């Protein structure tokens, strides 16, 4: 406990640590309507406006499929809330809880796909470079 206090006092001087959870969902899903029922929200024009809003407490930011940028006041929100909403919207509620369904197969498939795409681009680049050297 003493060491913890010393580290916090010496290194952080009363500052707080901010963090974010970012999710990019490659699907036609709109969770905004459900969130609007649960939380107060503000529509913003630029993501840079989040800096001011974040000073007021926790929030959920959604850049939805319609292009709206919405900020929901969320000082009390359940863990994985947006994941649950997305799973419901996609009609796979059993995939809503990361602890129960971490999605290892999907992760591995994505890694394989991205690796293949990256290798293909690398090989194409090498072919072009090889031609230029002739």
pLDDT tens, position by position, 77-87: 888 899 999 99
Residue environment code for 1-16, b if the CB has 16+ CB neighbours within 10 A, otherwise e: eeeeeeeeeeeeeeee
19-62 pLDDT, tens digit per residue, is 677 777 878 888 999 999 999 999 999 888 888 877 777 889 99
- Split at pLDDT 50, 70, 90, the class of 1 is low
CB distance 73 to 40 below 8 Å: yes
CA dihedral 68, 101, 18, 74 (to 10 degrees): 50
Q: What does the pLDDT look like over 96-121, one tens digit per residue? A: 998 999 989 988 888 888 787 777 77
pTM for the model stands at 0.65
| Listed residue (19, 3, 21) closest to 79, CA to CA | 21
Domain boundaries, the chain: 19-102
What is the pairing mode between strands 41-44 and 59-63?
A: unpaired
């Amino acid at each position: 406990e003493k060491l913890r206090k010393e580290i916090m006092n010496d290194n952080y001087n009363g500052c707080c640590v901010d963090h974010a959870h970012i999710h990019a969902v490659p699907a036609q899903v709109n969770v905004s309507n459900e969130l609007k029922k649960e939380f107060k929200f503000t529509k913003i024009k630029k993501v840079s406006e989040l800096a001011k809003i974040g000073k007021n407490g926790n929030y959920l930011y959604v850049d939805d499929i319609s292009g709206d940028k919405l900020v929901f006041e969320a000082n009390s929100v359940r863990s994985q809330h947006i994941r649950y909403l997305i799973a419901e919207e996609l009609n796979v509620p059993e995939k809503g809880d990361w602890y129960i369904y971490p999605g290892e197969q999907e992760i591995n498939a994505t890694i394989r796909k991205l690796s293949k795409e990256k290798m293909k681009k690398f090989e194409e680049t090498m072919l072009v470079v090889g031609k230029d050297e002739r």
